[in-house]
Protein backbone atom coordinates (compact mmCIF):
# COMPACT_ATOMS: atom_id res chain seq x y z
CA UNK A 1 0.00 0.00 0.00
CA UNK A 2 1.44 3.37 -1.00
CA UNK A 3 1.81 6.23 1.50
CA UNK A 4 -0.82 8.11 -0.53
CA UNK A 5 -3.29 5.25 -0.15
CA UNK A 6 -2.57 5.01 3.57
CA UNK A 7 -3.07 8.76 3.96
CA UNK A 8 -6.36 8.64 2.07
CA UNK A 9 -7.50 5.75 4.27
CA UNK A 10 -6.56 7.58 7.48
CA UNK A 11 -8.39 10.74 6.38
CA UNK A 12 -11.44 8.72 5.39
CA UNK A 13 -11.47 7.04 8.82
CA UNK A 14 -11.17 10.44 10.48
CA UNK A 15 -14.07 11.88 8.46
CA UNK A 16 -16.23 8.98 9.62
CA UNK A 17 -15.78 10.22 13.19
CA UNK A 18 -15.65 13.96 12.60
CA UNK A 19 -17.79 14.53 9.50
CA UNK A 20 -17.56 18.30 9.82
CA UNK A 21 -13.81 18.27 9.13
CA UNK A 22 -12.68 19.61 5.76
CA UNK A 23 -9.98 17.21 4.56
CA UNK A 24 -8.04 19.89 2.67
CA UNK A 25 -7.95 22.10 5.78
CA UNK A 26 -6.05 19.48 7.83
CA UNK A 27 -2.51 20.45 8.73
CA UNK A 28 -0.54 17.21 8.41
CA UNK A 29 2.20 18.21 10.83
CA UNK A 30 -0.04 19.66 13.56
CA UNK A 31 -1.37 17.77 16.59
CA UNK A 32 -4.32 15.79 15.31
CA UNK A 33 -6.50 15.49 18.41
CA UNK A 34 -6.59 19.17 19.28
CA UNK A 35 -6.91 20.15 15.63
CA UNK A 36 -9.97 17.97 15.01
CA UNK A 37 -11.26 18.09 18.62
CA UNK A 38 -11.32 14.35 19.26
CA UNK A 39 -12.28 13.31 22.77
CA UNK A 40 -11.21 9.96 24.22
CA UNK A 41 -14.24 8.16 22.77
CA UNK A 42 -13.62 9.68 19.33
CA UNK A 43 -9.98 8.69 19.57
CA UNK A 44 -10.82 5.09 20.45
CA UNK A 45 -13.24 5.00 17.51
CA UNK A 46 -10.48 6.37 15.27
CA UNK A 47 -8.09 3.60 16.42
CA UNK A 48 -10.92 1.09 15.95
CA UNK A 49 -11.54 2.42 12.43
CA UNK A 50 -7.83 2.07 11.56
CA UNK A 51 -7.92 -1.46 12.97
CA UNK A 52 -10.82 -2.38 10.70
CA UNK A 53 -9.40 -0.70 7.61
CA UNK A 54 -5.77 -1.77 7.90
CA UNK A 55 -6.27 -4.99 9.93
CA UNK A 56 -3.75 -3.86 12.49
CA UNK A 57 -4.06 -3.88 16.26
CA UNK A 58 -2.57 -0.64 17.59
CA UNK A 59 -1.56 -1.12 21.24
CA UNK A 60 -2.52 1.62 23.68
CA UNK A 61 1.15 2.07 24.52
CA UNK A 62 1.73 3.31 20.95
CA UNK A 63 -0.89 6.09 21.14
CA UNK A 64 1.82 8.54 22.20
CA UNK A 65 3.47 8.12 18.79
CA UNK A 66 0.30 8.98 16.88
CA UNK A 67 0.49 12.73 17.33
CA UNK A 68 -0.06 14.16 13.87
CA UNK A 69 -1.58 13.01 10.59
CA UNK A 70 1.97 12.55 9.24
CA UNK A 71 2.93 10.51 12.31
CA UNK A 72 -0.11 8.23 11.95
CA UNK A 73 0.67 7.60 8.27
CA UNK A 74 4.35 6.91 9.06
CA UNK A 75 3.40 4.55 11.90
CA UNK A 76 1.05 2.55 9.69
CA UNK A 77 3.45 2.54 6.76
CA UNK A 78 6.26 1.11 8.89
CA UNK A 79 4.06 -1.73 10.13
CA UNK A 80 2.11 -2.59 6.97
CA UNK A 81 5.15 -3.83 5.02
CA UNK B 1 -58.99 2.15 25.70
CA UNK B 2 -55.58 3.40 26.68
CA UNK B 3 -54.52 6.96 25.91
CA UNK B 4 -51.04 7.07 24.46
CA UNK B 5 -49.74 10.54 25.37
CA UNK B 6 -46.57 12.29 24.29
CA UNK B 7 -44.25 11.51 27.23
CA UNK B 8 -42.06 14.07 28.91
CA UNK B 9 -38.61 13.92 27.39
CA UNK B 10 -36.73 15.84 30.05
CA UNK B 11 -37.12 19.05 32.03
CA UNK B 12 -36.14 21.19 29.08
CA UNK B 13 -38.73 19.86 26.64
CA UNK B 14 -42.43 20.75 26.67
CA UNK B 15 -43.42 19.95 23.09
CA UNK B 16 -42.39 17.83 20.15
CA UNK B 17 -43.08 17.45 16.45
CA UNK B 18 -44.22 14.05 15.24
CA UNK B 19 -41.88 12.96 12.45
CA UNK B 20 -43.30 9.53 11.78
CA UNK B 21 -45.40 6.72 13.18
CA UNK B 22 -43.79 3.32 13.59
CA UNK B 23 -47.11 1.63 14.34
CA UNK B 24 -50.33 1.11 12.37
CA UNK B 25 -53.89 0.41 13.58
CA UNK B 26 -54.37 -3.23 14.45
CA UNK B 27 -50.74 -3.75 15.38
CA UNK B 28 -49.84 -5.34 18.72
CA UNK B 29 -47.48 -3.23 20.84
CA UNK B 30 -45.34 -4.38 23.76
CA UNK B 31 -43.66 -2.30 26.43
CA UNK B 32 -40.46 -0.79 25.08
CA UNK B 33 -41.49 -0.99 21.40
CA UNK B 34 -40.76 2.13 19.37
CA UNK B 35 -44.11 3.64 18.46
CA UNK B 36 -43.12 6.98 16.95
CA UNK B 37 -40.23 9.30 16.15
CA UNK B 38 -40.63 12.78 17.66
CA UNK B 39 -38.36 15.72 16.93
CA UNK B 40 -37.34 17.81 19.94
CA UNK B 41 -34.99 20.73 20.29
CA UNK B 42 -32.21 18.30 21.13
CA UNK B 43 -32.66 15.21 19.00
CA UNK B 44 -35.06 13.03 17.08
CA UNK B 45 -36.34 10.78 19.84
CA UNK B 46 -37.64 7.24 19.41
CA UNK B 47 -40.71 7.23 21.65
CA UNK B 48 -41.11 3.88 23.39
CA UNK B 49 -44.39 2.40 24.55
CA UNK B 50 -44.87 2.06 28.30
CA UNK B 51 -47.98 -0.06 27.85
CA UNK B 52 -48.98 -3.28 26.17
CA UNK B 53 -51.94 -3.34 23.80
CA UNK B 54 -53.21 -3.16 20.25
CA UNK B 55 -53.24 0.06 18.24
CA UNK B 56 -56.82 1.23 17.72
CA UNK B 57 -56.27 4.48 15.91
CA UNK B 58 -53.71 7.25 15.53
CA UNK B 59 -54.61 10.84 16.44
CA UNK B 60 -51.56 12.97 15.72
CA UNK B 61 -50.54 13.55 12.13
CA UNK B 62 -46.87 13.59 11.08
CA UNK B 63 -45.72 17.21 10.98
CA UNK B 64 -47.92 18.26 13.91
CA UNK B 65 -46.29 19.93 16.90
CA UNK B 66 -47.95 18.86 20.14
CA UNK B 67 -47.48 19.57 23.84
CA UNK B 68 -46.22 16.95 26.27
CA UNK B 69 -49.23 14.97 27.56
CA UNK B 70 -51.27 15.30 24.34
CA UNK B 71 -53.08 12.12 23.27
CA UNK B 72 -51.20 10.81 20.23
CA UNK B 73 -53.01 7.52 19.74
CA UNK B 74 -55.53 5.15 21.31
CA UNK B 75 -54.63 1.59 22.18
CA UNK B 76 -56.88 -1.30 23.16
CA UNK B 77 -55.80 -2.99 26.37
CA UNK B 78 -55.04 -6.70 26.04
CA UNK B 79 -58.38 -8.53 25.74
CA UNK B 80 -60.37 -5.31 25.16
CA UNK B 81 -62.89 -5.25 22.30
CA UNK B 82 -62.94 -2.19 20.06
CA UNK B 83 -65.91 0.09 20.91
CA UNK B 84 -68.41 0.89 18.17
CA UNK B 85 -67.72 4.62 18.42
CA UNK B 86 -64.50 6.47 18.91
CA UNK B 87 -64.10 8.12 22.30
CA UNK B 88 -64.91 11.79 22.25
CA UNK B 89 -61.52 12.62 23.70
CA UNK B 90 -59.96 11.17 20.56
CA UNK B 91 -59.74 14.69 19.23
CA UNK B 92 -56.26 16.07 19.74
CA UNK B 93 -55.99 18.17 22.88
CA UNK B 94 -52.86 19.95 21.80
CA UNK B 95 -52.36 22.80 19.41
CA UNK B 96 -51.76 22.13 15.76
CA UNK B 97 -49.46 24.09 13.52
CA UNK B 98 -52.24 26.11 11.90
CA UNK B 99 -56.02 26.39 11.53
CA UNK B 100 -57.68 23.32 10.08
CA UNK B 101 -58.62 23.74 6.43
CA UNK B 102 -62.32 23.72 5.63
CA UNK B 103 -63.28 20.27 4.43
CA UNK B 104 -64.82 19.98 1.00
CA UNK B 105 -68.13 18.17 1.48
CA UNK B 106 -69.10 15.38 -0.85
CA UNK B 107 -71.36 16.83 -3.57
CA UNK B 108 -72.01 13.76 -5.72
CA UNK B 109 -75.53 13.37 -4.47
CA UNK B 110 -76.51 16.94 -5.29
CA UNK B 111 -77.75 17.88 -8.70
CA UNK B 112 -76.32 21.11 -10.15
CA UNK B 113 -79.81 22.58 -10.06
CA UNK B 114 -80.18 21.82 -6.37
CA UNK B 115 -76.83 23.36 -5.69
CA UNK B 116 -77.63 26.46 -7.70
CA UNK B 117 -80.68 27.22 -5.63
CA UNK B 118 -78.59 27.19 -2.48
CA UNK B 119 -76.14 29.91 -3.46
CA UNK B 120 -76.77 33.62 -3.16
CA UNK B 121 -76.11 35.70 -6.34
CA UNK B 122 -73.46 37.80 -4.62
CA UNK B 123 -71.68 34.66 -3.48
CA UNK B 124 -71.84 33.18 -6.99
CA UNK B 125 -70.40 36.35 -8.52
CA UNK B 126 -67.61 36.42 -5.98
CA UNK B 127 -66.86 32.73 -6.61
CA UNK B 128 -66.59 33.41 -10.34
CA UNK B 129 -64.24 36.33 -9.70
CA UNK B 130 -62.03 34.16 -7.57
CA UNK B 131 -62.12 31.23 -9.97
CA UNK B 132 -63.70 28.99 -7.35
CA UNK B 133 -65.86 26.07 -8.37
CA UNK B 134 -69.21 26.65 -6.61
CA UNK B 135 -69.53 22.90 -6.13
CA UNK B 136 -66.46 22.95 -3.92
CA UNK B 137 -67.84 25.48 -1.44
CA UNK B 138 -69.31 24.28 1.84
CA UNK B 139 -72.45 26.23 2.64
CA UNK B 140 -73.18 27.40 6.16
CA UNK B 141 -76.24 29.54 5.41
CA UNK B 142 -79.93 28.57 5.80
CA UNK B 143 -80.51 25.03 4.45
CA UNK B 144 -76.81 24.77 3.72
CA UNK B 145 -76.85 27.71 1.30
CA UNK B 146 -73.46 29.01 0.25
CA UNK B 147 -72.94 32.57 1.46
CA UNK B 148 -70.43 35.20 0.46
CA UNK B 149 -68.60 34.47 3.72
CA UNK B 150 -68.22 30.80 2.76
CA UNK B 151 -66.67 31.73 -0.56
CA UNK B 152 -64.28 34.18 1.07
CA UNK B 153 -63.32 31.61 3.70
CA UNK B 154 -62.49 29.01 1.09
CA UNK B 155 -60.52 31.54 -0.93
CA UNK B 156 -58.39 32.59 2.05
CA UNK B 157 -57.84 28.94 3.01
CA UNK B 158 -56.61 28.25 -0.49
CA UNK B 159 -54.00 30.94 -0.42
CA UNK B 160 -52.82 29.73 2.99
CA UNK B 161 -50.31 27.00 2.25
CA UNK B 162 -51.23 23.69 3.87
CA UNK B 163 -49.09 22.77 6.87
CA UNK B 164 -45.91 21.10 5.65
CA UNK B 165 -45.75 17.42 6.53
CA UNK B 166 -42.02 17.50 7.09
CA UNK B 167 -41.26 20.17 9.67
CA UNK B 168 -39.25 23.02 8.22
CA UNK B 169 -35.59 22.80 9.22
CA UNK B 170 -35.31 24.71 12.49
CA UNK B 171 -32.37 26.51 13.88
CA UNK B 172 -31.57 23.60 16.17
CA UNK B 173 -28.57 25.28 17.76
CA UNK B 174 -30.64 28.29 18.84
CA UNK B 175 -33.50 26.08 20.07
CA UNK B 176 -31.13 23.88 22.04
CA UNK B 177 -29.58 26.94 23.63
CA UNK B 178 -33.04 28.11 24.68
CA UNK B 179 -33.88 24.67 26.11
CA UNK B 180 -30.63 24.51 28.09
CA UNK B 181 -31.18 28.06 29.31
CA UNK B 182 -34.70 27.22 30.53
CA UNK B 183 -33.62 24.09 32.43
CA UNK B 184 -30.53 25.68 33.95
CA UNK B 185 -32.34 28.88 34.95
CA UNK B 186 -34.99 26.74 36.65
CA UNK B 187 -32.24 24.79 38.41
CA UNK B 188 -30.54 27.90 39.75
CA UNK B 189 -33.89 29.42 40.73
CA UNK B 190 -35.27 26.38 42.56
CA UNK B 191 -32.37 24.26 43.75
CA UNK B 192 -30.18 25.44 46.64
CA UNK B 193 -26.91 23.95 45.39
CA UNK B 194 -23.93 23.15 47.56
CA UNK B 195 -20.55 22.21 46.11
CA UNK B 196 -17.73 19.92 47.26
CA UNK B 197 -14.52 18.73 45.63
CA UNK B 198 -11.97 16.02 46.35
CA UNK B 199 -8.71 14.90 44.72
CA UNK B 200 -8.83 11.26 43.57
CA UNK B 201 -5.50 9.48 42.89
CA UNK B 202 -5.87 7.53 39.64
CA UNK B 203 -2.61 5.53 39.51
CA UNK B 204 -4.19 2.20 40.46
CA UNK B 205 -7.13 2.69 38.14
CA UNK B 206 -4.95 3.66 35.16
CA UNK B 207 -2.53 0.79 35.76
CA UNK B 208 -5.45 -1.63 35.94
CA UNK B 209 -6.90 -0.21 32.70
CA UNK B 210 -3.52 -0.32 30.90
CA UNK B 211 -3.06 -3.98 31.87
CA UNK B 212 -6.60 -4.83 30.80
CA UNK B 213 -6.28 -3.02 27.49
CA UNK B 214 -2.87 -4.56 26.70
CA UNK B 215 -4.39 -8.01 27.16
CA UNK B 216 -7.45 -7.35 24.96
CA UNK B 217 -7.94 -6.50 21.26
CA UNK B 218 -8.82 -2.93 20.37
CA UNK B 219 -12.50 -3.88 20.08
CA UNK B 220 -12.58 -4.74 23.80
CA UNK B 221 -10.59 -1.81 25.13
CA UNK B 222 -12.02 0.17 28.04
CA UNK B 223 -11.89 3.93 28.56
CA UNK B 224 -11.33 5.45 32.01
CA UNK B 225 -14.83 6.92 31.61
CA UNK B 226 -16.33 3.46 32.04
CA UNK B 227 -14.51 2.72 35.28
CA UNK B 228 -15.53 6.17 36.56
CA UNK B 229 -19.18 5.62 35.62
CA UNK B 230 -19.24 2.32 37.45
CA UNK B 231 -17.54 3.75 40.54
CA UNK B 232 -20.05 6.63 40.70
CA UNK B 233 -23.00 4.24 40.38
CA UNK B 234 -21.73 1.85 43.05
CA UNK B 235 -20.91 4.70 45.44
CA UNK B 236 -24.38 6.24 44.87
CA UNK B 237 -25.92 2.95 45.98
CA UNK B 238 -24.87 3.88 49.50
CA UNK B 239 -26.13 7.48 49.25
CA UNK B 240 -29.78 7.32 48.17
CA UNK B 241 -30.20 11.03 48.97
CA UNK B 242 -28.09 11.87 45.93
CA UNK B 243 -29.83 9.61 43.42
CA UNK B 244 -33.45 10.40 42.62
CA UNK B 245 -35.93 13.15 41.79
CA UNK B 246 -37.39 16.10 43.70
CA UNK B 247 -40.99 16.31 42.48
CA UNK B 248 -44.00 18.20 43.88
CA UNK B 249 -42.18 19.35 46.97
CA UNK B 250 -40.87 15.97 48.01
CA UNK B 251 -37.86 13.79 47.32
CA UNK B 252 -38.27 10.40 45.66
CA UNK B 253 -35.11 8.31 45.81
CA UNK B 254 -34.54 6.00 42.84
CA UNK B 255 -34.08 2.24 43.12
CA UNK B 256 -31.20 2.12 40.61
CA UNK B 257 -28.62 4.59 39.30
CA UNK B 258 -29.60 5.63 35.79
CA UNK B 259 -26.71 7.96 35.09
CA UNK B 260 -27.27 10.84 32.69
CA UNK B 261 -24.01 11.13 30.80
CA UNK B 262 -23.32 14.69 29.68
CA UNK B 263 -22.27 14.43 26.03
CA UNK B 264 -21.20 17.49 24.10
CA UNK B 265 -22.31 17.63 20.49
CA UNK B 266 -19.90 18.40 17.69
CA UNK B 267 -22.11 21.26 16.43
CA UNK B 268 -22.38 22.72 19.95
CA UNK B 269 -24.84 22.09 22.74
CA UNK B 270 -25.21 19.31 25.23
CA UNK B 271 -27.36 16.25 25.91
CA UNK B 272 -27.30 14.05 29.03
CA UNK B 273 -29.08 10.81 28.09
CA UNK B 274 -29.33 8.02 30.63
CA UNK B 275 -27.33 4.82 30.85
CA UNK B 276 -29.66 2.48 32.73
CA UNK B 277 -28.81 0.67 35.97
CA UNK B 278 -25.07 1.32 35.67
CA UNK B 279 -24.22 -0.28 39.02
CA UNK B 280 -25.49 -3.70 37.95
CA UNK B 281 -23.62 -3.93 34.65
CA UNK B 282 -20.15 -5.31 33.96
CA UNK B 283 -17.56 -2.92 32.51
CA UNK B 284 -17.54 -4.39 29.00
CA UNK B 285 -21.33 -3.98 28.71
CA UNK B 286 -21.05 -0.38 29.97
CA UNK B 287 -18.31 0.32 27.44
CA UNK B 288 -20.38 -0.85 24.48
CA UNK B 289 -23.49 0.94 25.78
CA UNK B 290 -21.57 4.17 26.27
CA UNK B 291 -20.02 3.96 22.78
CA UNK B 292 -23.46 3.32 21.29
CA UNK B 293 -25.01 6.18 23.28
CA UNK B 294 -22.35 8.69 22.19
CA UNK B 295 -22.72 7.60 18.58
CA UNK B 296 -26.53 7.88 18.59
CA UNK B 297 -26.37 11.14 20.51
CA UNK B 298 -24.17 12.71 17.86
CA UNK B 299 -26.33 11.26 15.10
CA UNK B 300 -29.36 12.82 16.87
CA UNK B 301 -31.19 9.55 17.55
CA UNK B 302 -32.14 8.77 21.15
CA UNK B 303 -34.85 6.81 22.93
CA UNK B 304 -37.51 8.42 25.10
CA UNK B 305 -36.42 6.39 28.17
CA UNK B 306 -32.91 7.76 27.75
CA UNK B 307 -34.27 11.31 27.66
CA UNK B 308 -36.41 11.02 30.78
CA UNK B 309 -35.02 8.34 33.11
CA UNK B 310 -31.74 9.81 34.42
CA UNK B 311 -31.62 9.90 38.23
CA UNK B 312 -28.29 11.75 38.48
CA UNK B 313 -25.89 13.38 35.99
CA UNK B 314 -22.19 12.72 35.43
CA UNK B 315 -20.08 15.33 33.68
CA UNK B 316 -16.79 13.74 32.77
CA UNK B 317 -14.40 16.09 31.02
CA UNK B 318 -12.10 13.30 29.83
CA UNK B 319 -8.54 14.01 28.85
CA UNK B 320 -9.21 17.21 26.95
CA UNK B 321 -10.89 19.18 29.71
CA UNK B 322 -9.95 21.37 32.63
CA UNK B 323 -8.98 20.31 36.14
CA UNK B 324 -12.25 20.89 37.93
CA UNK B 325 -15.88 21.27 36.94
CA UNK B 326 -18.76 22.34 39.20
CA UNK B 327 -22.04 21.41 37.60
CA UNK B 328 -25.55 22.81 37.55
CA UNK B 329 -28.08 20.15 38.63
CA UNK B 330 -30.54 19.05 35.94
CA UNK B 331 -33.99 19.24 37.53
CA UNK B 332 -35.76 17.27 38.92
CA UNK B 333 -32.51 15.46 39.79
CA UNK B 334 -30.76 16.36 43.03
CA UNK B 335 -27.07 15.86 42.29
CA UNK B 336 -24.43 16.20 39.62
CA UNK B 337 -21.01 14.58 39.80
CA UNK B 338 -18.24 16.37 37.91
CA UNK B 339 -14.95 14.72 37.01
CA UNK B 340 -12.06 16.79 35.70
CA UNK B 341 -9.14 15.83 33.49
CA UNK B 342 -6.82 13.05 34.67
CA UNK B 343 -3.34 14.58 34.88
CA UNK B 344 -0.10 14.17 36.85
CA UNK B 345 -0.28 16.20 40.07
CA UNK B 346 2.02 16.63 43.02
CA UNK B 347 0.68 14.31 45.71
CA UNK B 348 1.97 13.41 49.14
CA UNK B 349 2.69 9.69 49.52
CA UNK B 350 4.34 8.34 52.69
CA UNK B 351 5.52 11.81 53.63
CA UNK B 352 7.07 12.55 50.24
CA UNK B 353 5.79 14.66 47.36
CA UNK B 354 5.49 12.54 44.23
CA UNK B 355 3.91 13.06 40.81
CA UNK B 356 0.79 10.93 40.49
CA UNK B 357 -2.05 10.85 37.99
CA UNK B 358 -5.12 12.23 39.69
CA UNK B 359 -8.43 13.91 38.99
CA UNK B 360 -10.69 16.28 40.90
CA UNK B 361 -14.11 14.85 41.61
CA UNK B 362 -16.80 17.41 42.47
CA UNK B 363 -20.34 17.14 43.71
CA UNK B 364 -23.11 19.67 43.21
CA UNK B 365 -26.05 18.58 45.34
CA UNK B 366 -29.47 19.80 46.41
CA UNK B 367 -29.49 21.12 49.99
CA UNK B 368 -33.23 20.42 50.28
CA UNK B 369 -32.37 16.71 50.22
CA UNK B 370 -28.83 16.25 51.55
CA UNK B 371 -26.16 17.99 53.59
CA UNK B 372 -22.50 18.61 52.91
CA UNK B 373 -21.44 16.00 55.42
CA UNK B 374 -23.14 13.20 53.48
CA UNK B 375 -21.91 14.67 50.21
CA UNK B 376 -18.35 14.57 51.55
CA UNK B 377 -18.77 10.94 52.56
CA UNK B 378 -19.96 10.16 49.04
CA UNK B 379 -16.85 11.71 47.47
CA UNK B 380 -14.62 9.83 49.93
CA UNK B 381 -16.40 6.60 48.99
CA UNK B 382 -15.90 7.35 45.29
CA UNK B 383 -12.19 8.01 45.90
CA UNK B 384 -11.79 4.72 47.77
CA UNK B 385 -13.57 2.69 45.09
CA UNK B 386 -11.22 3.99 42.43
CA UNK B 387 -8.23 2.77 44.47
CA UNK B 388 -9.56 -0.80 44.02
CA UNK B 389 -10.46 -1.11 40.34
CA UNK B 390 -10.55 -4.91 40.61
CA UNK B 391 -13.62 -4.73 42.80
CA UNK B 392 -15.39 -2.58 40.15
CA UNK B 393 -14.72 -5.06 37.36
CA UNK B 394 -17.35 -7.55 38.46
CA UNK B 395 -21.11 -7.40 37.91
CA UNK B 396 -23.22 -6.18 40.80
CA UNK B 397 -21.58 -4.27 43.59
Q: Quick: pLDDT tens for B14-62.
A: 888 999 999 999 999 998 899 999 988 777 888 999 889 999 999 999 9
Summarised one tens digit per residue, pLDDT across range B75-110 is 998 888 887 665 554 444 444 444 333 443 333 343
Residue B361 in any domain: the answer is yes
pTM of the model: 0.74
How far apart are the C-alpha atoms of B338 and B321, rounded to whole Å?
Answer: 11
Looking only at the bridges linking them, the beta strands covering B15-21 and B34-39 are: antiparallel
What's the whole-number mean pLDDT along residues B292-313?
88
Q: Do B232 and B259 sit in the same domain of this protein?
A: yes
Residue A69: which of A7, A13, A17 has the closest Cα? A7
Looking only at the bridges linking them, the beta strands covering B71-76 and B2-5 are: antiparallel
In the prediction, which pLDDT does B249 show? Answer: 94
B46-73 burial code (b ≥16 CB/10 A, e <16): bbbbeeebbbbbbbbeebbbbebebbbb
Partners of residue B266 in chain A, C-beta under 8 Å: 18-20, 37
Q: Does B215 touch chain A (CB under 8 A)?
A: no
Q: Does B391 touch chain A (CB under 8 A)?
A: no
In the prediction, which pLDDT does B8 show? Answer: 82
Kindly report the CATH number assigned to the domain that includes residue B377: 3.30.559.10
How far apart are the C-alpha atoms of B331 and B334, rounded to whole Å?
Answer: 7
CB B214 within 8 A of CB A59: yes
Q: Do B145 and B222 sit in the same domain of this protein?
A: no
Looking only at the bridges linking them, the beta strands covering B44-48 and B244-247 are: unpaired
Q: Do B81 and B123 sit in the same domain of this protein?
A: no
Tell me the residue range of the domain where B222 lies: 173-392
- The residue out of B34, B56, B90 marking a domain boundary is B90
Residue B286 in any domain: the answer is yes
Residue B290 in any domain: the answer is yes
Q: How confident is the model at residue A73 (pLDDT cuts 50, 70, 90)?
A: very high
In the prediction, which pLDDT does B30 show? Answer: 92
Q: How confident is the model at residue B307 (pLDDT cuts 50, 70, 90)?
A: confident
In the prediction, which pLDDT does B342 show? Answer: 94
What's the whole-number mean pLDDT along residues B250-275?
90
Q: Do B367 and B235 sit in the same domain of this protein?
A: yes
Number of domains chain B is built from? 3
Instruction: Considering only residues B77 and B382, tell me which one the structure prediction assigns the higher pLDDT.
Output: B382
Q: How confident is the model at residue B118 (pLDDT cuts 50, 70, 90)?
A: low
Q: Does B341 touch chain A (CB under 8 A)?
A: no
Summarised one tens digit per residue, pLDDT across range B204-221 is 999 999 999 999 988 899
> What interface predicted TM-score (ipTM) does this complex get?
0.82
Q: Do B154 and B178 sit in the same domain of this protein?
A: no
In the prediction, which pLDDT does B111 show? Answer: 39
Q: Does A22 touch chain B (CB under 8 A)?
A: no
Map residue B273 onto helix, strand or coil: coil
What's the whole-number mean pLDDT along residues B313-337?
92
- The residue out of B42, B59, B90 marking a domain boundary is B90
Is residue B171's pLDDT more than 60? Answer: yes
Residue B107 in any domain: the answer is no
Average pLDDT, chain B: 83
Q: Do B194 and B343 sit in the same domain of this protein?
A: yes
B6-45 burial code (b ≥16 CB/10 A, e <16): bbebbbbbbbbbbbebebeeeeebeeebebbbbbbbbbbb
Residue B164 in any domain: the answer is no
CB B275 within 8 A of CB B290: yes
Point out the residue among A18, A33, A40 whose CB comes nearest to the CB of B225. A40
Residue B97 in any domain: the answer is no
Q: Does A78 touch chain B (CB under 8 A)?
A: no
In the prediction, which pLDDT does B157 show? Answer: 61
Task: Reduce the secondary structure of chain A to three states and give it as a string.
Answer: CCHHHHHHHHHHHHHHHCCCCCHHHCCCCCEHHHHHCCCHHHHHHHHHHHHHHHCCCCCHHHHHHCCEHHHHHHHHHHHHC
% of residues, chain B, pLDDT over 70:
81
Q: Do B140 and B21 sit in the same domain of this protein?
A: no
In the prediction, which pLDDT does B89 show? Answer: 46
Interface size, chain A vs chain B, as Cβ–Cβ contacts under 8 Å: 45
Residue B168 in any domain: the answer is no
Q: Does A53 touch chain B (CB under 8 A)?
A: no
Identify the structural domains of chain A with CATH numbers, from first to last.
3-80 (1.10.1200.10)
Residue B319 in any domain: the answer is yes
Q: Helices B224-236 & B283-298, crossing angle to 10 degrees?
A: 110
Q: Do B251 and B290 sit in the same domain of this protein?
A: yes
> Phi and psi for B328 in degrees, rounded to 5?
-105, 125
Closest residue of chain B to A50, computed from CA coordinates: B218
CB B344 within 8 A of CB B329: no
Rama region for B204: left / alpha / beta (φ>0; ψ in -120 to 50; rest): alpha
Kindly report the CATH number assigned to the domain that includes residue B58: 2.40.50.100
Partners of residue A44 in chain B, C-beta under 8 Å: 218, 221, 223, 291
Kindly report the CATH number assigned to the domain that includes residue B124: 4.10.320.10
Q: Do B308 and B385 sit in the same domain of this protein?
A: yes
Looking only at the bridges linking them, the beta strands covering B301-303 and B335-339 are: unpaired
CA of residue B225 relative to chain centroid, distance = 23
Q: Do B134 and B187 sit in the same domain of this protein?
A: no
Amino acid sequence: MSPQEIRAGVIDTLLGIAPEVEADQLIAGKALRSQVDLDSMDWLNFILGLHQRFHMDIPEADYAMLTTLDAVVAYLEARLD
Amino acid sequence: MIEFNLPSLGADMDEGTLLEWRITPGQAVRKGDIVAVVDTTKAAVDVESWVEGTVHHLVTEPGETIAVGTVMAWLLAPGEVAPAELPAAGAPMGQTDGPALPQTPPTEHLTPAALRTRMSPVARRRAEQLGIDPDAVHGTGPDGAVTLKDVEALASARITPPPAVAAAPKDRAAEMRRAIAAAMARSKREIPHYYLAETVPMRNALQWLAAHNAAHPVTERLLPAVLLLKAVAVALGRFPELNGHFVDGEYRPAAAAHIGVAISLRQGGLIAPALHDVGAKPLDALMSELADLVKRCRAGSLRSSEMSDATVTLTNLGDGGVETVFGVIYPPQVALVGLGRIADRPCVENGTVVALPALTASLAADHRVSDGHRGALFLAELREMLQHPDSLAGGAS
